[in-house]
Each structure stands twice: as structure tokens, then as C-alpha cells.
Amino acid sequence: MFIKACTQIRNSRVLLMNDEEIVRKYSDMIFGVAMRYVRNRTDADDVYSDVFYRYFRRKRTFDSEEHRKAWLLRVTVNCAKEFLMNRKYGDEINDDMFGSETLYGTSEASVEDIIAVRDALKDLDDDYREIIELYYFSGLTVSEIGQMLQKPTNTVKSQLLRGRNKLKEMLQ
């Protein structure tokens, strides 16, 4: 009984975050997902703004923090896809989807390896690329990706496996 009450108190505190705390907590995640779709910082800023506009336009209630996160991720993906559909998507794209911080950060992989993976990801089918990026770069679980993309968990698992195998083939 005591543990259940403590959990409810903790959850109610989390759900009562103010607007600034919500933006602080989710801004990196939203911007990162937007970057992976639109592949350009300026366009990702537009998607980011649109997501928070939609969030703050109406007061929303969520059952849990996971529900809020899932809603924000789903809206981010939808906004990014909508943005790409509304824009004339030419061949010349600023390919800065990982940012310079990733290329020169503290990583065990060499710059050449990172560039090779980035180039291989560009050539990967969209379905596989989307799932790989959400899993590895956004840190989402397979079940969270399934909920967000409205796909069964086993489908996400198999697409993740196939995508990794195709990526491996491309890099060899």
C-alpha cells in the first residue's frame, strides 16, 4: 500500500511539470528525431517549433510520463513527414543529420567509420533507416518504436534485424 501511494505521488509530480520543464526535458529528443527525418537544422527547428506549438495549443492530460513521451514522439514523426511532403524535396540536402558534435565527440569509432555509417544510412530503405535511428540514436525500445509507428513489436524487431544486416552488407 505504501509503495503504491509513493508511486502515485511521484507520478503526479512528474505529470505536473511546468511548460519550461517539459521543453527542457524533451527538446533534445524532439530535435534529434526531427533532424533524422528532415536532415537539416533549419528545417528541424521548424518541426521542433510545430511540435511544441501543437502541444501547448491545448492543455493535454496524460496517464503517465511515458504516454506524454510517446505522444510527443508520434507528433514529431508526423510533423516531420508532413513537412517533407509539403516541401519540394530536391536532391540537394544539407546532410548534417548527426551534427558536427557527433563526428568529433568522444567516441571509439573513427571519423571515417562514422562518415561511412552515415552514408550507408542515407542509402538504406526508409523503413529500416527510421527504425535503426529511433533505436540507436533516440534510445527508444522496440516496444516504444512499435507504439510510435503503429507497428507490431515483432515487425519492428524483424525490420531492425533486416536493417542491421543490410547496413552491415553495405559497410563491408
Tens-digit pLDDT profile for the chain (172 aa)? Answer: 545 544 444 444 445 678 889 999 999 999 999 998 888 898 899 999 999 989 988 877 888 888 899 899 999 998 988 888 777 544 344 444 444 444 334 446 667 777 778 788 888 888 888 888 888 877 788 888 888 888 899 999 999 999 999 988 888 8
Q: What pTM does this model have?
A: 0.54
Please tell me the predicted confidence (pLDDT) of residue 97.
Answer: 45
User: Quick one: cell of 129?
Assistant: 533507416
Amino acid in the structure at residue 62: F
Pair 118, 97: CB distance under 8 Å = yes
Greatest distance between any 2 Cα atoms in the chain: 60
Please tell me the predicted confidence (pLDDT) of residue 101.
Answer: 41
CATH number of the domain at 98-172, please? Answer: 1.10.10.10
Please tell me the predicted confidence (pLDDT) of residue 132.
Answer: 87
User: Quick one: cell of 99?
Assistant: 551534427
Please tell me the predicted confidence (pLDDT) of residue 150.
Answer: 86
Gap between the Cα atoms of 122 and 129, Å rounded: 8
Please tell me the predicted confidence (pLDDT) of residue 157.
Answer: 92
1-90 maps to CATH 1.10.1740.10: yes
Gap between the Cα atoms of 14 and 35, Å rounded: 27
User: Quick one: cell of 39?
Assistant: 536532415
Closest alpha carbon to 73 in 36, 117, 18: 36
Gap between the Cα atoms of 166 and 90, Å rounded: 26
Sign of the Cα pseudo-torsion (159, 89, 87, 98, in order): positive
Give me the phi and psi of 18, to 5 degrees please. -80, 170
DSSP 108: S
Chain region(s) in the chain for CATH 1.10.1740.10: 1-90
Chain region(s) in the chain for CATH 1.10.10.10: 98-172
